[in-house]
Structure 1
Amino acid sequence: MSTVLFTGYPGFLGSALLPLVLEKRPGTNALCVVQERFMPLAQKRLAEQTEEHPDLDGRVELVTGDITEPGLGMDRVTDDITEVFHLAAVYDLAVPSELAYRVNVEGTRHVLDLCWSLPGLKRLQYVSTCYVSGSHHGLFLEDQLDTGQTFQNHYEHTKFEAEQLVRNEIADGLPATIYRPGIVVGDSVTGETQKFDGPYFLLQFLMKQPKYAVVPRVADPDQVRFGLVPRDFVIGAIDQLSTMDVAVGKCYALADPKAPTVRELVETFCSLLDKEPVWMRVPLKFTQVLIGLPGVERLVGFPEESVAYFAHPTVYDTTNTVTDLEGTGVSCPHFADYAPIMIEYVKMHPDVSSAAMV
């Protein structure tokens, strides 16, 4: 009997990925490292998933731990762990530096240390982010990392540092695969999501407005592409690639090869909401300062940290992803096809928070 170790359960991606991973690995169990404060939620989610997927029964063990501690804070580590899925991270654009570093960098360092101690390890599956690209202008290749870029926030910077750690260990012989999701939104079929952030801020901003909706133009909306991807594509891609030998040592940008421009994003939402966008040219820095004023962010419902992504200068190469997923049936759906589902989910679930699990 072999075991896969998971971090990031019961998070948005980890919860959905776990059943897929075990379905592809008969005779394998899962050990999920869960922070003590999230254990009740993890137990509840596992019970729900076991009811939906009876084959999970008896195959998932939840253990209290913390990636910010050596050994992930676990009392014991079994020698039968053959695979590690490291998804745990602070995904919050406003995260303080110290917390971001402790979780995203030191946490990854502890996972890497654990990996080297496992005699039967076949692979580390590491989830990074496309936004390690920071301020990089133009096409960002899957094989690139350090191009001299700067970063908008501590989330981007610490994920960059964490991926560098993983790449260093790959160079030293650690079998690993790196996955870089774009801005992950809800399921493209059900719309389900754990929090409303990123493009949901724009959607809610438009929904609050009258027929003619004002849209700040902080950059050329025909040139900037918004890199959103639905959760089911991301977990489907990781599920497929994690079993492929060709993926060892590779990095995959789990991004939309035909990501919508900001204009296409706005006009698609407006069309579905029966609104007309009125573009207003406003400098990016001015917009950020304005939203940062007391009470303004709460009024418009648009965090200062999110504005920069509507002027993001990077386009993501997806050659590895598209090539290695060919023939698997997994591909990124077109934004226009799942945009109506996003809108319907927001309308039906107005109480979903924008807060991250930290």
Structure 2
Amino acid sequence: MANYFFTGFPGFIANNLIRQLIEDQQPESIFVLVLPEMMDRAEEEINNIIDEKQISPNLIHVVPGDITKPNLDMDITYQELFINNIHYVFHLAAIYALAVPKSIAFNVNVRGTQQVNEWVKTLNHLKRYVYFSTAYVSGKRTGKILETELDCRQEFKNHYEQTKFEAEVLVDQLKVNIPTTIIRPGVVCGHSKTGETIKFDGPYFMLNLMDALKTFPIPYIGKSDAYGNFVPVDYIFESTIYLAHATKGEGKTYHLADPNPYRMREVYSMLMQEFLGKMPKWTTPLTLARLSLSLSVTRKWLRVEKESLDYSRLLAEHDCSQAVQDLKGSGISCPDFKEVVPAIVQFYREHKNHPQYQIKID
């Protein structure tokens, strides 16, 4: 029996990792750090978990705090309790947005992670510190990218990537003295069975575009041999909980990516065939698409971020050999994206007009 601490609650990933944790382990207590303005929503989500999992109301505890402040801005009584009673820390709080301004991204992703790192160092009985990064700390690198690689003097496509890289560098330095596991997911998409997701980004930008243009002949966007790196959320949840508790996971970084990815044009075709029952017939130059999405009115109509185009032509392959090897024998493997497409499209079709899923496009 162990005690767990999560940042990033009530966010979608932290929320579902806790559900997976309850299924796979027997946690004694779970503590979730929550911003004061998110307390009501956090309590609501906890009640949902209690009802769904039929667990004791005393299993999950809300802790008011802020990762960007010293000691995470927690009350002194919590700090004293946690020093000798927290065994696993999952740090998920971050700004996950391609168009985020630099100052906001740095404050949360870098300064926040630095504060969490300093707090983790005070824990006397820590068994594992799990940090949620992203495969895209590789920035503009191309070719095969290994899980063991981090700082290769790469440049970045946006402030999200750069600040997540800077944060991971800080966490990576802890591996010498702190039992640490770093998780780098690819582009997280819907649940492989239900299609459920938290927001329509990544492959959903393609569906947004197709939905807006469905009465027109829809083109491919540019010519590229780039691979898509789309990973169902349930694979992320199951793998993370398993690797966080596996002895072999200590001190390692994992790409939770598709070991057999499809090219972006194939992904685009699969989504269009499933959603609209037709295939692209022509190709528009990427430069023209970028020019069009430079206009706010076009971005809002198509519900597509201009920054997403950078990923459609990135000739990078995120090698996940270490993750695949260490997951052997667990029964956990990444589903074939082709098999996930129907669930993703169905969920999108049912929720495409719900504002809570659509990202605000400026």
What TM-score do you get using the length of structure 1 for normalisation?
0.94
1:208 to 1:111, Cα distance in 2 relative to 1, 3 A: same
- Partner of residue 209 from structure 2, selected from 182, 205, 226: 205
| Moved segments of 4+, more than 4 Å | none
Secondary structure of the residue that 1:31 maps to in structure 2?
strand
Distance in structure 1 (CA, Å) of the matches to 2:56 and 2:242: 19
For residue 121 of structure 1, what is the amino acid of its counterpart? L
CA offsets 1:18-53 (integer angstroms, 9 cap, x no match): 122234442521110011122111111110110011
Residue 184 of structure 1 is matched in structure 2 by 188
Q: After the TM superposition, which residues 146-161 of structure 1 pair with which residues of structure 2 at under 5 Å, given as runs?
A: 146-161=151-166
- Partner of residue 252 from structure 2, selected from 247, 250, 253: 250
1:134 to 1:56, Cα distance in 2 relative to 1, 3 A: farther
Secondary structure of the residue that 1:131 maps to in structure 2?
helix
Residue 302 of structure 1 is matched in structure 2 by 304
Distance in structure 1 (CA, Å) of the matches to 2:315 and 2:155: 12
For residue 209 of structure 1, what is the amino acid of its counterpart? L
1:114 to 1:264, Cα distance in 2 relative to 1, 3 A: same
How far does residue 202 in structure 1 lie from its aligned partner after superposition? 0.4
Number of aligned residue pairs: give it.
352
CA offsets 1:235-275 (integer angstroms, 9 cap, x no match): 11001111100110000000001111111101111221212
How far does residue 199 in structure 1 lie from its aligned partner after superposition? 0.9
How far does residue 4 in structure 1 lie from its aligned partner after superposition? 0.8
Distance in structure 1 (CA, Å) of the matches to 2:217 and 2:70: 51
Q: After the TM superposition, which residues 328-339 of structure 1 pair with which residues of structure 2 at under 5 Å, given as runs?
A: 328-339=330-341
- Partner of residue 240 from structure 1, selected from 226, 239, 242: 242
- Partner of residue 110 from structure 1, selected from 83, 108, 115: 115
Contact kept, 8 Å, 1:125 with 1:242, in 2: the verdict is yes
CA offsets 1:257-313 (integer angstroms, 9 cap, x no match): 1111111101111221212203324144x4323211231111222211111110112
Residue 231 of structure 1 is matched in structure 2 by 233
Unaligned runs of 5+ in 1: none
For residue 60 of structure 2, what is the amino acid of its counterpart? V
Q: After the TM superposition, which residues 246-325 of structure 1 pair with which residues of structure 2 at under 5 Å, given as runs?
A: 246-272=248-274, 273-284=276-287, 286-325=288-327
CA offsets 1:51-106 (integer angstroms, 9 cap, x no match): 01112531100111111111111113222011100011100001110110010011
For residue 254 of structure 1, what is the amino acid of its counterpart? L
Q: After the TM superposition, which residues 21-40 of structure 1 pair with which residues of structure 2 at under 5 Å, given as runs?
A: 21-26=21-26, 28-40=28-40
Contact kept, 8 Å, 1:228 with 1:256, in 2: the verdict is yes
Contact kept, 8 Å, 1:22 with 1:56, in 2: the verdict is no
Secondary structure of the residue that 1:277 maps to in structure 2?
coil
Residue 62 of structure 2 is matched in structure 1 by 62
Distance in structure 2 (CA, Å) of the matches to 1:24 and 1:353: 28
Residue 10 of structure 1 is matched in structure 2 by 10
What TM-score do you get using the length of structure 2 for normalisation?
0.93
| Larger displacement relative to structure 2 (290-299 or 239-248) | 290-299
RMSD: 1.6
Distance in structure 1 (CA, Å) of the matches to 2:56 and 2:202: 32
How far does residue 219 in structure 1 lie from its aligned partner after superposition? 3.9
Distance in structure 2 (CA, Å) of the matches to 1:238 and 1:191: 19
Contact kept, 8 Å, 2:130 with 2:180, in 1: the verdict is yes
Secondary structure of the residue that 2:181 maps to in structure 1?
strand
How far does residue 216 in structure 1 lie from its aligned partner after superposition? 4.3
Residue 217 of structure 1 is matched in structure 2 by 221
Percent identity over the alignment is 36
Distance in structure 2 (CA, Å) of the matches to 1:313 and 1:29: 44
Contact kept, 8 Å, 2:208 with 2:302, in 1: the verdict is no
For residue 312 of structure 2, what is the amino acid of its counterpart? F
CA offsets 1:101-125 (integer angstroms, 9 cap, x no match): 0100111111110111011111101
